[in-house]
A and B are shown apart, each in its own frame.
Chain A
Amino acid sequence: GAGVSQTPSNKVTEKGKYVELRCDPISGHTALYWYRQSLGQGPEFLIYFQGTGAADDSGLPNDRFFAVRPEGSVSTLKIQRTERGDSAVYLCASGPGQGSYGYTFGSGTRLTVV
């Protein structure tokens, strides 16, 4: 597609439930990133994929968070046993993978845990 697409744009879930957030990167981009942005803060890195593999998952806050990218394109961020503190905008970005480190962000999924 023309840009990075994230679905859903908004998600409200109850505390303790499981959620999946989807990211469709720009076609041909091998690098894919997940960030989390809390209100009034800058984005915070979660995980980076190069192709199908997680090249850097050092930002995942705990083992409730997991992400996959099985075919090297679409990625899913999975959050188990959601907590109110997980409420944030989850941003996905993709890039060509080599050369410049600049990449393109999607509009995000706003997750609210009630």
Chain B
Amino acid sequence: GEDVEQSLFLSVREGDSSVINCTYTDSSSTYLYWYKQEPGAGLQLLTYIFSNMDMKQDQRLTVLLNKKDKHLSLRIADTQTGDSAIYFCAENQGGRRALTFGSGTRLQVQP
């Protein structure tokens, strides 16, 4: 599929909010996802949003979806050092089961 784009790196201070952005490609994607990957570990599903929603909140996580611009964002409130990881957004192009991932955003949280 075509590229899902993310910025490569984000650095924040502990306690601040982090916003990770993603631009996806397929307007027919039914779900959009955020995954977290810590060093040496598999991918952990953080949250997902159905394409007919604009926003989803889950504790410290807020997902915003702008379908017109094909823009997805993940906001992490009160960022902690344990949030340091690589964050991937993903879409299921054409409603397929297979996911197309971005290249990931490395989040560094400084104490």
Binding site for B on A (CB under 8 A): 4, 31, 33, 40-45, 48, 50, 55-56, 58-59, 91, 93, 100-108
Contact indicator B31/A45 (Cβ below 8 Å): no
| B56 partner residues in chain A, CB cutoff 8 A | none
Q: Taking the complex as formed, is B88 at the interface, i.e. its CB lies under 8 A from any CB of chain A?
A: yes
| B101 partner residues in chain A, CB cutoff 8 A | 42-44
| A59 partner residues in chain B, CB cutoff 8 A | 98
Contact indicator A91/B42 (Cβ below 8 Å): yes
A92 nearest CB neighbor, chain B only = B42
Given contacts A42-B88, A42-B102, contact A102 B48 (CB under 8 A): yes
The A/B interface has a contact count, at CB < 8 Å, of 58
| A56 partner residues in chain B, CB cutoff 8 A | 96-98
Can you pick out 16 interface pairs between chain A and chain B where the beta carbons lie within 8 Å of each other?
A33-B97, A40-B104, A41-B103, A43-B43, A43-B99, A43-B101, A45-B100, A48-B98, A56-B96, A100-B31, A101-B30, A102-B33, A102-B48, A105-B43, A106-B42, A107-B42
Binding site for A on B (CB under 8 A): 4, 30-31, 33, 35, 40-45, 48, 88, 90, 92, 96-104
| A48 partner residues in chain B, CB cutoff 8 A | 97-98
Complex alpha-carbon distance, A74 and B41, angstroms: 21
